[in-house]
Amino acid sequence: MSRLVLEVISPTPPYMVAEQRGESNMTSPGLFFFLGSVVVFFILLIILFVLWKFVKFPHLRALVDRVKKPPAREDFLGGNTISHFDFQTLKKATKNFHPSNLLGRGGFGPVFLGMLADGRLTAVKKLSADKSQQGETEFLSEVKLITSIQHKNLVRLLGCCSDGAQRLLVYEYMKNRSLDLLIYGKSDVFLDWNTRFQIILGVARGLQYLHEDSHIRIVHRDIKASNILLDDKFLPKIGDFGLARFFPEDQAYLSTNFAGTLGYTAPEYAIRGELSEKADIYSFGVLVLEIISCRKNTDLTLPSEMQYLPEYAWRLYERSKLMELVDPKLRENEFPEKDVLHTILVAFLCLQPHANVRPPMSEIVARLTCKVEVGEIPMRPAFLDRKRRVQDKLSWDTISEAFPSPLRSSSPSLSQPAK
């Protein structure tokens, strides 16, 4: 008996037929997602390219610039909380460094007034292109120093620019600009004694921080009126750290080439290249006399006995006529003669011819604030008489003979003075 087997054949599903034929399912949801992702990715790339090409993003560009920097520069600036500006931003802020925005000139380049996009006023220092090698060293030195120290009497660095060959520093803007404009007769602003003393004390405290209170010992090397900036309340801030030097704690002085401004420079540094914080203290003494008298430390147009401010002040001291040193405009108003006299005597201590006789800045600040009696001045203040140069060299023997002391060095050396 044969068995009849009936086979019911159902239709093969379409997707199985397609698979059997080696065809893919073009309507798969996974494939749609993949193709959509690829399209979106390429669209985003195109948008980013267009934005990068035609729209300026300073922060994004700064990030890329930092990535492009060599490791040494990245390590140098890394960890510091300053902004990195691109050159075009600063060019726009200063109106292409227009002469009308010129605030002044430092030792390594001009300083321009700039206004950032957020409305902040800044002082933009543009290092001179013709001093590229020296300017690069200056740039690195100033950025490293200023970003590592903070004090109310030190100018604040907002950022920098290292764009190709361009080297710029961006500082906070100081409304009353530099001190030299006020004390050398370039301004009609009158400084009363309280304001002058505020400036003197502020500079002293700034130097005390650099020499004694900072985590690193720093010698500024160029304390002078043009490097003292004043805010809207005439509070002073020390600026221009391009010549500043780190100073080892275990060394009394460094032997180095002379750099700075000769009229403010201590004899042992200008002549023998012996640099210590006492060089800044000498410069501070000269600055104090300038603030009180409202005249430059050296003026060869005056009679010979008045040409060098420290020498002139000492002659008045010997004749008990120190009040003649005071700015005539200040003498026309009421001022505390005793306080002014005391401050001049403190300046004399800073101007002693031998570095180890000059008191540290902490003692100077104490004498200024506590009005500690100065007493007898040990020696006549030192100064470098340009007329006594011999073959463009300064002789230590000249200084030693003028200011004899048992503390004088037995083995002096000569160094070439600044031109």
Catalytic machinery residues: 222
b/e per residue, 233-244, with b = 16+ CB within 10 A?
ebbbbbbbbbbb
H or E stretch including 19? helix 14-20
**Residue 268 contacts residue 355 (beta carbons within 8 Å):** yes
Phi and psi at 73, nearest 5°, equal -70, -40
CA angle 66, 72, 77 (to 5 degrees): 55
User: Distance (Å, rounded) from C-alpha 339 to C-alpha 365?
Assistant: 14
Other C-beta atoms lying within 10 Å of the C-beta of residue 304 = 10
User: Distance (Å, rounded) from C-alpha 341 to C-alpha 264?
Assistant: 21
User: Distance (Å, rounded) from C-alpha 271 to C-alpha 417?
Assistant: 7
Other C-beta atoms lying within 10 Å of the C-beta of residue 189 = 12
Handedness of CA 244, 248, 250, 256 (dihedral sign): negative
